[in-house]
Amino acid sequence: MAKGNRMRVAIIGAGFSGISAAVALTRRGITDYVMFEESNGIGGTWWKNRYPGAEVDLESHIYSFSYERNDWTRVYAWWYELQEYLDRVARTRGILKHVRFGTRVVSAEWSEQDHAYVVSTSGGTATELFDAVVSAVGFLNIPLMPPFARGEVAYLGALCHTSAWPEGLSMEGKSVAVVGTGSSAVQVVEVAEREASHLTIFQLEPNWILPKNSRDFSQSERRWSGLAPVYYWKRLKLYVGYDLRQRNSQHARLDGRGNQKRRTAALEYLQSSLVDRPDLIPVVTPEFPFEGRRTVISDTYYQLLKSPKVTLVPHAVTQLTATGVEDAAGEKHDFDIVVLATGFDAANYLSTFTVKGEDGKDLHEAWGGEPEAFLGLMVPGFPNFFMMYGPNTNAVPLVSFYQAQAAFIAKVLNHVRSRHLSSVKVKPEAHRRYNTRLQQQLAKTVWAQTSSYFRSGTGKVVSQWPYSASRYILSTKAAPYTSVEYS
């Protein structure tokens, strides 16, 4: 229970969203917080995802904090540049002293007696009380391992998921298999084609691809971006572009002008890239609606498919053998390295720890396999518990969403603290109305028509935000006055 002007907060995760929360809380004068991070460094996604070729799919100037500029070297930053950026932000803003590395949160349980959460960790230390808990673990954090790679396997070579690339593993001169054709896969493929003796790509289903136009910034561009007005103009221009693209869900509706325009561009890109290999065109042309799954952006993938060092197998892998894999056609292939670019168990929110609210209610049981939350942030019956990058908040530009969520959390917690209250909860009716309207809009999108990680096992779209970032940000600003209650 907050006492006087004290408010103790647990932040779970030290990536973009966790740092956003720490900065926002500090700005409101809430400096008594602990950040739990299971890894050994700052960065979250950009600490774990270190596979060759890993880079962000959003432009560097927009995939960064509005209050922290950086001398970006590329249009799309490499993973290590992002990790270094986040580490610098954490150091310069005094966040590091609050972080407990190598510590995984096991559970957070609401205590009616203390009006606080009892937080338990894997470190074996005694449980601690926190007035509020902020989950900043994201939703692309649990690797999705295909059935053939679970448990003990027969394969004797090097086997890894892109999110857990072994230190020192090199593809130089090796025969390599990449299982998957999503965003991570196409980035690994670019390096594998260059380094490996031969590369085989196993494609369960092709994805829509648009050119990325990735490149290094010139020295002149970097000097100009060093000027604050230029930097923020670039950021604003990118923000407005994404905002207009997502207005009224036009990017995700079959009848949306934006969706149709980008689909046409994707088809033209595919056909012009493979004009000299017409045999490949039907193999890599998707059958699902454009934007139904995450659209891949790559400047090189189609060209690399034509390399004599590359073989595209339009079948899934069904099992591992001692020397390689067997595909769905029954053919066996031998490899030195098998890379699983199979994505994440995205619809399983907060699966790494247990959350219990009022009357011992378990959050996952309350969801029943269909995660939902008010603005992706709060669930009725779970006071003082917040999620960042929670259900139905996956949209671009991501960091703008993180900052809006962090500002909301800091605002309502500061209200609790400054008025000597004990809790803040979302109103059940506000939660119900919000999610009903949201699902009505999502039902009009291509996401509702396509099997993907955007949907739960029941088919409900649980990850996507169908509108613009500005609409979301305005909603978070209004919510503290209309949709939550304090006690």
Q: What angle do CA 233, 235, 240 make, to 5 degrees?
A: 95
Other residues' Cβ atoms within 10 Å of the Cβ of residue 236: 13
Two tokens at 242?
Answer: 């994404």
E runs forming strands in 314-470: 317-320, 324-327, 332-334, 337-340, 354-356, 385-387, 424-426
Other CB atoms within a 10 A radius of the CB of residue 229 amount to 8
- The amino acid that residue 458 corresponds to is T
Read off the tokens for 95.
Answer: 């966040």
Tell me the sheet residues that pair with 55: 78
Give the pTM.
Answer: 0.97
Token code pair at residue 198: 């031969």
- As averages over each run of 10 residues, the pLDDT of the chain (487 residues) reads 74 98 98 97 96 97 98 98 98 98 96 96 84 93 92 96 96 98 98 98 98 98 98 98 96 97 98 98 98 98 98 97 98 98 91 96 97 98 98 97 98 97 97 98 98 95 98 97 96
- Rounded CA-CA distance 480/471 in Å is 15
Cα distances from 486 to residues 293, 297, 411, 483, in angstroms, run 39, 45, 12, 10
Predicted local confidence at residue 5, as pLDDT: 66
| pLDDT of res. 169 | 98
User: Quick one: what percent of the chain has pLDDT higher than 70?
Assistant: 99
To the nearest 10 degrees (0 to 180), the angle between helices 398-418 and 469-482 is 10
Q: Are 364 and 462 in contact (CB under 8 A)?
A: no
How many alpha carbons fall within 13 Å on the CB side of residue 26?
14
Q: Give the SS3 label for residue 300.
A: coil
147 burial (CB, 10 Å; 0-12 / 13-18 / 19+) is exposed
Would you list the DSSP string of 6-64?
Answer: ---EEEE--SHHHHHHHHHHHHTT---EEEEESSSSS-THHHH---TT-B-SS-TTTSS
Residues 6+ apart with CB under 8 A from 445: 249, 252, 253, 461, 464, 466
Whole-number pLDDT of residue 4: 54
Q: Judging by beta carbons within 10 Å of its beta carbon (0-12, 13-18, 19+), is residue 378 exposed, middle or buried?
A: buried
How is residue 55 written in tokens? 């880079």
Three-state DSSP class for residue 441: helix
Q: How deeply is 268 buried, as exposed, middle or buried, from its count of CB atoms within 10 A (0-12, 13-18, 19+)?
A: exposed
Q: What is the DSSP code (8-state) at residue 357?
A: -
Task: Give the integer Cα–Cα distance in Å for 329 and 332.
Answer: 9
Contacts of 8 (CB under 8 A, 6+ apart): 2, 32, 33, 34, 116, 129, 130, 131, 132
Sign of the CA dihedral with 284 first, then 290, 291, and 293 last:
negative
Q: Are 179 and 320 in contact (CB under 8 A)?
A: no
Residue-range domains of the chain with CATH:
9-142+346-486 (3.50.50.60), 147-340 (3.50.50.60)
| Burial grade of 420 (CB within 10 A; 0-12, 13-18, 19 or more) | exposed
- The CA R_g of the chain, rounded to the nearest whole Å, is 23
